[in-house]
Structure 1
Amino acid sequence: MKSITSSANPMYKELKLLATSSQARRKAGRTLLDGVHLAQSYLQHVGLPALCVVSETALLNAEVASLLAQCEAGAVKCVVLPDPHYHVLSQVEHGVGLLFVIDTPKSVVPSALTQSAVLLDNLQDPGNLGSILRSAAAAGIKQVYCSGGTAFAWSPKVLRAGMGAHFLLEIFEGVDLAAVVAHARIPVLATSSYATQSVFQADLTGPVAWLFGHEGQGLAEDLLQLASQHVVIPHLGPMESLNVAAAAAICFFEQVRQTQK
């Protein structure tokens, strides 16, 4: 295990860029997993990381020591940092002191949409995106298509909110959603407060694609018009609408309910 004590160390500078710059993460094709849960999920569902980083204090943690041993057994480069240097990299307050550096997957968009999926148009909030990914994975959905204006799915904030869902999904970024919808071989459903059909009345027993938009502005009008069906989530209170992540979860699990009848 290599110890890095200087903030001028080239590897530490690279780590700092990955931790603080979305542009650097995209350019390098790498990102950071922060914490034991994400590290365990990655090892279980994907494999070994490109690099393992621990704080000096974390070396005393039994869970960290076990994960570190797995990495070392797989010939993964491991580095230890003084606690102050490590805390610069981590966005988790009172975290355990473990980071994985991983390569972000590069997935090729399928020629046609044939299985249940989620299509996200200009979704901005990392917490909402991560929550939607987590709900989609829990509902058995495998594919997520993100427009160019949607938050970077592999940012540390989205990864933390996703709680390991990323490793169970195919995530396509920078996608022309209009083209995906146009080539869909399954129904594409969009939620709309103006729809007359409830999501609970829609036939969700087969594969469907769910289309969700920007937190404040909603779906772009051209995408809304391309959808096969518009559905509404009925609610009793005077609130105008639901949070997009909450709306998505309701839709996904209504689909689960119908398919398990």
Structure 2
Amino acid sequence: MTETAIRSRDNPIFRRLKKLAESSRARREARMTLLDGEHLLAAYLAAGGMPHTLVRAESCAPARLAPFAQDCRQARTVVVPDALFAELAPVATPTGVLAEAAWLTPPASGGLALVVVLEDIQNPGNLGAMLRTAAAAGATLAVLSKGCHDAWSPKALRGGQGAQFVLPMQLAADLGAWLRDFSGTSIALALETAHDLYAQDCTAATALVVGNEGAGLSGATLAAATKRARIPMPGRVESLNASAALAVAVFEVLRQRGARR
């Protein structure tokens, strides 16, 4: 790979990368993002993506990028001082490798609908983990409200570990309208109900609706859902983390469908 050295924050390439690292608006307008580390880069390539730019910190050995040389022939490679790389990295201990990459649009999944509907999930790690869980369960779609954190932010991508590359997503959705139009059963996970999640029939088309980490689901979204259900918790805690609640629910759907088959 031929590498270009960047030394200045005023370099136009660095300035573009910095905007992608810091601004959801810049990512949305360009439909580009930054991938942190070799694992995400490999997942992106496996999903059919082609990075625009590879970024290496000076302290990172060039050999780290060697495995990607064949698949990234069209990508520009730049090397930046560690101090500048740290300004782009989403974590306190940078991996030393970043990639500038276009958003992917996975094709719609066929088969019986299993949709995760997320309202105002604001923690990027939680959001990424929820998308990862949905992808692992074979969800056909993720529907995100306007109040959710940017699903393509570097931190959400780290949490998703490649989920955004394979899971169809509808972003900035009007959840009330989407739920009213959904032809299957939508189940809102809520504490304020006596209905047990495990007593619900999830063998037909199902959408699982999960709310904000602190506030839960809004009244409008609860009203638009077909049903409400709670996860039984005999222990002495008030609630589950939103990501954990979704994991319990989505794999209960899979359990029921497997048992029905």
TM-score by length of 2: 0.91
Q: Which moved more, 1:176-185 or 1:93-102?
A: 93-102
Native 8 Å contact 2:193 2:229 kept in 1? yes
Q: 2:185 aligns with which of 187, 191, 214?
A: 187
The residue that corresponds to 1:8 in the other structure is 10
Q: 1:27 aligns with which of 21, 26, 29?
A: 29
Q: Which moved more, 1:99-108 or 1:203-212?
A: 99-108
Q: CA deviation at 1:102?
A: 1.3
Which residue identity is paired with 1:89? L
Q: 1:121 aligns with which of 119, 132, 139?
A: 119
- Secondary structure of the residue aligned to 1:119 is strand
Which residue identity is paired with 1:71? C
Consecutive unaligned residues in structure 1, runs of 5 or more = none
How many residues align? The count is 255
Which residue identity is paired with 2:206? V
- Once the two structures are superposed, what CA deviation does each residue of 1:168-210 show, in whole Å capped at 9, x if it has no partner? 1011111111111111111000112232221111111222001
The residue that corresponds to 2:176 in the other structure is 178
Native 8 Å contact 1:71 1:78 kept in 2? no
- Secondary structure of the residue aligned to 2:238 is coil
Matched, 1:18 2:20: yes
- Once the two structures are superposed, what CA deviation does each residue of 1:50-72 show, in whole Å capped at 9, x if it has no partner? 2211122323444x321244312
Consecutive unaligned residues in structure 2, runs of 5 or more = none
Native 8 Å contact 2:21 2:153 kept in 1? no
Query: Is the alpha carbon distance of 1:102 and 1:117 closer, same or farther for their aligned partners in structure 2, counting shifts above 3 Å?
Result: same
- Once the two structures are superposed, what CA deviation does each residue of 1:101-140 show, in whole Å capped at 9, x if it has no partner? 112246899xxxx721111111211111111101101111
TM-score by length of 1: 0.91
- Secondary structure of the residue aligned to 2:178 is helix
- Secondary structure of the residue aligned to 1:219 is coil
Among all aligned residue pairs of Structure 1 and Structure 2, give the percentage whose two residues are the same amino acid: 37
Which residue identity is paired with 1:148? K
Q: Partners of 2:131 and 2:183 in 1: how far apart? A: 22
Q: Partners of 1:56 and 1:71 in 2: how far apart? A: 20
Q: Partners of 2:93 and 2:214 in 1: how far apart? A: 32
1:150-161 correspondence runs (5 A): 150-161=148-159
